[in-house]
């Protein structure tokens, strides 16, 4: 997943809100958001190649989301980053306890957001020790938390403006479908070729081989129940599927 904006305790009715785009090669096998057959308490998409997930929630009030760190040329980690989210959702440790026990050297660069309902924790093997986050709106892409990338700053501002429209979700999906390419002089320099910097500078990435495959909006109510709304997209940016699943009764 390549863009996440999360609101932690910034809305009276919804203590946790999250809008995210998952960018991936279209050829990678993926299951759309659903209850997991082998763990029905978990709701989210699933990577069918390695078995983990980029974003999911559980009926126990837990949420986990991960992005990779863009660092071309680095050796690949021995383990899949998607298991970091899966294992947290299957477990019972607090978010901070779980994050501090990760063998971070076993993974390629990652950014991890974990919530156990009591705390929101950010962990990265490229950005110091895990830490709890104060109430606020945070942005995460393929660098450190709140890196000032143009698309991330734009998405955070749009997220803040969309809060007043809740429970309507259209404004959040509107920010996630922004396909504007950033001007060359504003692009971050992450070590990939210029044409890729341009492609990846949009909030919604679209190309024949690689792009935004899912946009997801999650909200948690004060009872701890989640509502997860996912929209899936094809190589031309066309909408393939839309699903809404709740963890509440």
- Average pLDDT of the segment spanning 203-210: 96
- CATH number of this structure's domain 3-246, picked from the four choices 3.60.60.10, 3.40.50.300, 3.40.50.450, 3.40.50.1100: 3.60.60.10
Query: Could you report the per-residue pLDDT of 79-95, keeping only the tens digit for each?
Result: 999 999 999 999 999 99
Query: Could you report the per-residue pLDDT of 92-127, keeping only the tens digit for each?
Result: 999 999 999 999 999 999 999 999 999 999 999 999
Percent residues over pLDDT 70 in the chain: 99
Average pLDDT along the chain: 95
> Could you give the 3-state DSSP secondary structure of residue 240?
strand
CA-nearest of 182, 174, 237 to 19 is: 174
Tokens of 76: 């690949």
- Only one residue has tokens 């997943």, namely 1
pLDDT score recorded for residue 249:
56
Query: Could you report the per-residue pLDDT of 4-35, keeping only the tens digit for each?
Result: 999 999 999 999 999 999 999 999 999 999 99
pLDDT bin (cut points 50, 70, 90) of residue 1 is low
What is the rounded CA–CA span in Å between residue 125 and residue 111? Answer: 7
What one-character DSSP code corresponds to residue 66?
A: E
pLDDT bin (cut points 50, 70, 90) of residue 71 is confident
pLDDT score recorded for residue 75:
78
pLDDT score recorded for residue 126:
93
Side-chain-side CA neighbours of 15 within 13 Å: the count stands at 16
Tokens of 164: 């007043």
Instruction: Find out whether 141 and 3 touch, Cβ atoms under 8 Å.
Output: yes
> What does the H/E/C string look like for 173-201?
HHHHCCCCCCCHHHCCCCCCCHHHHHHHC
pLDDT score recorded for residue 173:
98
> Could you give the 3-state DSSP secondary structure of residue 150?
helix
- Average pLDDT of the segment spanning 175-194: 94
Q: What sign does the dihedral 193-153-176-23 (CA atoms) show?
A: positive
- Average pLDDT of the segment spanning 126-141: 96
């Amino acid at each position: 997943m390549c863009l996440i904006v999360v609101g932690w305790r910034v809305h009276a009715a919804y203590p946790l809100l999250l809008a995210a785009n998952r960018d991936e090669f279209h050829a990678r096998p993926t299951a759309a958001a659903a209850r997991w057959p082998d763990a029905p308490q978990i709701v989210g998409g699933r990577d069918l190649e390695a078995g983990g997930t980029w974003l999911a929630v559980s009926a126990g009030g837990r949420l986990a989301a991960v992005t990779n760190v863009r660092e071309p040329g680095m050796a690949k980690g021995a383990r899949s980053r998607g298991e970091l989210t899966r294992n947290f959702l299957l477990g019972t440790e607090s978010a901070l306890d779980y994050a501090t026990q990760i063998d971070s050297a076993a993974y390629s660069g990652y950014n991890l957001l974990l919530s156990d309902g009591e705390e929101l924790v950010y962990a990265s093997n490229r950005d110091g020790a895990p830490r709890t986050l104060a109430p606020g709106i945070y942005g995460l892409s393929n660098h450190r938390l709140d890196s000032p990338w143009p698309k991330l700053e734009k998405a955070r501002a749009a997220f803040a403006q969309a809060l007043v429209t809740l429970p309507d979700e259209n404004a959040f999906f509107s920010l996630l479908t922004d396909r504007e390419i950033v001007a060359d002089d504003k692009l971050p320099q992450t070590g990939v070729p210029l044409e890729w910097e341009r492609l990846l500078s949009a909030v919604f990435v679209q190309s024949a081989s690689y792009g935004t495959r899912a946009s997801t909006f999650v909200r948690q109510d004060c009872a701890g129940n989640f509502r997860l709304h996912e929209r899936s997209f094809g190589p031309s940016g066309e909408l393939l599927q839309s699903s809404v699943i709740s963890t509440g009764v």
